[in-house]
Every structure is written in C-alpha cells, then in structure tokens.
Amino acid sequence: MTTIDAPFARQFLHRLHASVNTHDPDALAALCCEDVTWEDPAAPYTLRGRDAVLHFHRDVMFQALPDVHVELLDEPYLSLDGTSVAARLRIRGTMSGSLTPPGFAPTGGVVMFETAEFSRFRNGLLAHHIVVLDMLDLARQIGAVPQAGTLAANVGMWMQHVSAFRARARRSSCNSPS
C-alpha cells in the first residue's frame, strides 16, 4: 500500500490533471488501478475498471469539452490514515460536443465550475475516485435548468407545487382509515 504524503499527492495530481489538460485518456487511464472505481456525476453510471475510465473520458468528456482545463485551487488535503487525498479544482471548457448520456446538445458556450475530488490509492495508482460538483449550477449553465427568477423557473416551480400537492394527497388517501 502506498502512503500518501505531500510530495506524492502534488506529483500525482499534477500528472492526473496534465493528462486531462492535454486531453490524453490513455495517460489518464494509466494512472488508475485495473479495477478502479470512478464516481463522477457526469458519467451515466459508476465507472468500474481502467477501460471504463478511458472510454468515458475519450468518448464522452473530451468530446463534450474538447478544450477542458483543470486547475488545482488549493494544496491537496491528505487523509489522516495516509491512503487518500482530496483536492478542490476549477474546471473550464467549451461545450462544443454533446454530453451523451443523458443527451445534452452542445451549447458552444463556456462552462466553468468547481469540484471537490476524493482519491484513494493502492500501489501508487488510483483505486477509488469520487468527483463532487454542483450539478444544478452546471445544468443552468448549459440551459438544462432555467435561471432562477425567470418565467421558465417560475412555471417549473408552480408545476413542482402541483406535483407535491398531488403526492401529499395520494399519501393522505392511502393512510386514511377505510
């Protein structure tokens, strides 16, 4: 097992982000254990295995954001048990390709968002990688969710209220004594 210290964390994250910034899915996959687990809300499911990570980045992420760039915002945070690192990042790219699944069309616009990423290592490679980001903010940037305060947002809010009312009514009628 690899003990994670500050020099290892900095060097590994530099290699990981350089592979993203140069849009090199093979280099990215090479940093992963063969049986890596990669959890990313942009992926249609939890990626299991090095090949799944390679295919997702090559066929989805680098197609949707071909100029994607990752920037480390802080020094890495090391776990107390010496097996993991967390990092806060800023990701920026032009959505010039579709994001499939779920099927979002390219906007041609720049998206920028921050992530927190949590990485656990085995033998110097990624064994488990978790990406956390504000999907609501990203959905608003690509037009999948209306901007707050707009007519579309107000209509959506009204529809949610109607749906919530119906759900409460169904639960109420199911819980009523016959």
CA-based nearest residue to 129, from 44, 7, 41, 64: 41
Q: What is the DSSP letter of 111?
A: E
Strand bridging mode 77-78 / 69-72:
unpaired
pLDDT at 15: 97
Prediction pTM value: 0.84
pLDDT at 158: 86
pLDDT tens, position by position, 89-125: 999 999 999 877 667 899 999 999 999 999 999 999 9
178 pLDDT band (50/70/90 cuts)?
Answer: low
Amino acid at 43: A
